[in-house]
Chain A
């Protein structure tokens, strides 16, 4: 019974954790906008959420032998990080596109907030269900 009440919350909790992680990655990109040689990083949110939900890490490379090294962390709770593509190549090798990063940052923070609202709404629904009034 309790599991049914919290199952939907789990989904939003996972989404919130991934949003927080992405927010941090985007903050690193903005912080390193002037660092020579820095390559901006990001991850595919939908893919990461799917991998958290499924519980199994989706490796980009198949492991066909026990001695193969695994790419990425191998932890399904952690998103597989990737490198962004340079839009306007710079002489110093820095691949941060500040406009894109800022847009992503704002987008991600609004989605973080909406996930929070979903959780709050869910809590309110459940509370009104158990008070029975």
Chain B
């Protein structure tokens, strides 16, 4: 029964989207982090999705292929009295763009909801199929 495959497909999408949501949460939590003792500030992370063939003809799930760190320059703030300031008096903050992350978050949660709805529809159709001929 090919409909059972929907749970695999939508399930993979849900787990990928929740991983994306996780990464967004980590980025937002570190949005104001300044460089640690090693001089390296927090780099924003982004998930890269990839489709994986699943079951017969045409159905494809999703997986997280990679989590990449953004190489955008960190936000530099002039604060000469800050303990982490460099020789020129600048403090390097993380390169997280909060606006971008919020948009990412909304997109991830909408996709998650979409896939939950797909699973619910598939479930109710399968339950009705079970009652066929009764």
Contact = CB atoms under 8 A, between A and B. Distances in A.
Contacts, number: 98
Contact of B118 (A21, A30, A38): A30
B103 interface: no
A73 interface: yes
A32 B51 contact: yes
A25 B121 contact: no
A58 interface: no
Nearest to B1: A20
Nearest to A75: B57
A14 interface: no
Determine the main DSSP class of A at the interface with B. helix
29 contacts: A20-B2, A21-B2, A21-B57, A24-B2, A24-B3, A24-B9, A28-B9, A28-B58, A28-B61, A30-B13, A30-B114, A31-B9, A31-B118, A32-B60, A32-B62, A33-B111, A34-B17, A34-B20, A34-B49, A34-B62, A34-B111, A35-B62, A38-B51, A78-B57, A98-B114, A109-B121, A109-B125, A116-B128, A120-B132
Interface residues of A, number: 34
Q: Can you list the 7 inter-chain pairs with the closest CB atoms, starting with the nearest?
A: A31-B13, A35-B49, A27-B6, A28-B59, A123-B133, A20-B3, A28-B60
B111 A25 contact: no
Interface string B63-97: 00000000000000000000000000000000000
Interface of B: 1-3, 5-6, 9-10, 12-13, 17, 20, 48-51, 54-62, 107-108, 111, 114-115, 118, 121-122, 125, 128-129, 132-134
